[in-house]
Amino acid sequence: MSSISVEVVIVGGGPIGLTTAIALASAGVETALVGKLARTPDNRTTALLASSVTALDTLGVWPHCRERAAPLRVMRIIDDTARLLRAPEVRFVASEIGLDAFGHNIENTHLLAALDARARALPALSLIEDEATAVTIEDSHVTIAFKQGKPVTARLAVGADGSKSICRRAAGIATNGVAYGQTALTFNLGHARAHQDCSTEFHTGGGPFTLVPLPRLRSSLVLVVTPAEAARIAALAASELAAEIERRSHSILGRIVPEAGRGVFPLAIETAQRFAVARIALVGEAAHVLPPIGAQGLNLGLRDAATIGELVVEARRQGGDVGAADLAGRYDAARRTDVASRTFAVDLLNRSLLSDFLPVQGLRGLGLYLLERIGPLRRAVMREGVAPAAARPRLMRGEAL
């Protein structure tokens, strides 16, 4: 059977695969995106940090999202652990660092629709709506095979195929990880009081419980609890669920009306031992899975997409081979610190909440106390959160590739 030949093939049509494909194709790289674009509904939302919004704007995606996203102007952390050593409430205000908003929260359905629309408008991008069944790496190229359709060959395959990545497996890359005994319950809700563009994170002994604004009188919720507690809460009738959430949120949003569609996600951390080898680069959850704490996962994935896009476009301009081992090495090095530091921070925060060890609780409380009291420290943490110093690819700075 003859094959389709492109410069880069991306496996996986989730948010990170789509973004990578758009980044490459909008710079004129002949790209194919392999993935099922007709998806099951995803009622989750994503808090996109300001630098991610800048990247999506630069790629022409944000104009399709803007009206459907809610700005996050204030973020507050409330210690709700009822422990001996509790921390003060900490408020981060975007205007303190000269920003209108830290970022925007958007329903995944709208984000994916915006990415789909942009992808379909790019002449250099071919969409192959199929499932890859095999990935074969050879010296000069890589081949993606399907059950029936023509195989695709490329200089480089980008694995954007999620946590069970077949690209990662084909490259022989192992992962390190840990499964927490916690589950995230998610759903969206309407409420009586205005959220005033403020997201609130309650730190509880079972894990964080976060309410994030959506446009108008709506918010999304991520509640981290034990698997048994998640199953109990997910099975509640709407009125009981509303009462449970009002109690847990101390009624800060007034009367609550849960919307249909509840998601349950077991929490885990998983990191690939390498993010690339010759002919294969991993992005998004194929490279790193993080629990939904502190809105890091998809933002990290967008920085992967921006980085591999930048390296490929640069290599191509210099007449180089975009799948060569040296580009893989540069991509791995460019992403290592950012992924490791975010993974460490999320893990530390989660473990400090779960710990019954008094000195650990004290240290967490002290950290939050210092953040609350010391303005320059708080502002440095905010700046780092919005635009990490270790990872500022061009798209995150608003520069086209």
Ligand X SMILES: Cc1cc2nc3c(=O)[nH]c(=O)nc-3n(C[C@H](O)[C@H](O)[C@H](O)COP(=O)(O)OP(=O)(O)OC[C@H]3O[C@@H](n4cnc5c(N)ncnc54)[C@H](O)[C@@H]3O)c2cc1C
**Euclidean distance between CA atoms 272 and 59, whole angstroms:** 27
Q: Which two tokens stand for residue 293?
A: 């704490």
Asked if 208 is part of the footprint of ligand X (rule: CB under 6 A), the reply reads no
DSSP string, 2-71: --EE-SEEEE--SHHHHHHHHHHHHTT--EEEES--S------EEEEEHHHHHHHHHTT-GGGTGGG-EE
For the four alpha carbons of 45, 49, 50 and 54, in that order, the dihedral sign comes to: negative
**Euclidean distance between CA atoms 306 and 281, whole angstroms:** 13
Considering only 258, 292, 323, 388, the residue that binds ligand X (CB under 6 A) is: 292
Asked if 339 is part of the footprint of ligand X (rule: CB under 6 A), the reply reads no
Considering only 26, 46, 143, 343, the residue that binds ligand X (CB under 6 A) is: 46
Applying CB under 6 A, the span of 23-31, 32-40, 312-320, 373-381 interacting with ligand X comes to 32-40
Contact 3/128 with Cβ under 8 angstroms? no
The owner of tokens 């709700």 is 80
Applying CB under 6 A, the span of 154-162, 189-197, 227-235, 272-280 interacting with ligand X comes to 154-162
Considering the complex, what minimum distance in angstroms separates the CB of residue 47 from ligand X? 4
Q: Cβ closer to ligand X: 129 or 240? A: 129
Contact 221/188 with Cβ under 8 angstroms? yes
Asked if 297 is part of the footprint of ligand X (rule: CB under 6 A), the reply reads yes
Give Cα 282 to chain centroid, integer Å: 14
Q: x-or-dash pattern for ligand X, window 155-174, by CB under 6 A? A: -----xxx---x--------
Residue 338's contacts (CB-CB under 8 Å, 6 or more residues apart) are 300, 303, 388, 390, 391
Report the DSSP pairing between strands 45-49 and 103-107.
antiparallel
Residue 36's contacts (CB-CB under 8 Å, 6 or more residues apart) are 13, 129, 130, 131
Asked if 207 is part of the footprint of ligand X (rule: CB under 6 A), the reply reads no
**Euclidean distance between CA atoms 206 and 225, whole angstroms:** 5
Considering only 31, 183, 199, 296, the residue that binds ligand X (CB under 6 A) is: 296
Residue from 12, 31, 78 nearest 401 by CA: 31
Considering the complex, what minimum distance in angstroms separates the CB of residue 149 from ligand X? 12
Asked if 58 is part of the footprint of ligand X (rule: CB under 6 A), the reply reads no
Helices assigned H by DSSP within 80-197: 108-120, 166-170
Q: Cβ closer to ligand X: 53 or 327? A: 53
Q: Which two tokens stand for residue 8?
A: 């880069």
Asked if 186 is part of the footprint of ligand X (rule: CB under 6 A), the reply reads yes
Asked if 175 is part of the footprint of ligand X (rule: CB under 6 A), the reply reads no
Q: x-or-dash pattern for ligand X, window 114-153, by CB under 6 A? A: -----------------xx---------------------
Asked if 65 is part of the footprint of ligand X (rule: CB under 6 A), the reply reads no
Q: x-or-dash pattern for ligand X, window 7-26, by CB under 6 A? A: ----xxxxxxx---------
Asked if 103 is part of the footprint of ligand X (rule: CB under 6 A), the reply reads no
Asked if 70 is part of the footprint of ligand X (rule: CB under 6 A), the reply reads no
Asked if 311 is part of the footprint of ligand X (rule: CB under 6 A), the reply reads no
Total residues at interface with ligand X (CB under 6 A): 32
Asked if 274 is part of the footprint of ligand X (rule: CB under 6 A), the reply reads no
Site for ligand X in 212-251 (CB under 6 A): 222
Q: Which residues bind ligand X (CB under 6 A)?
A: 11-17, 34-36, 44, 46-47, 131-132, 160-162, 166, 184, 186, 222, 265, 284-285, 292, 295-299, 301
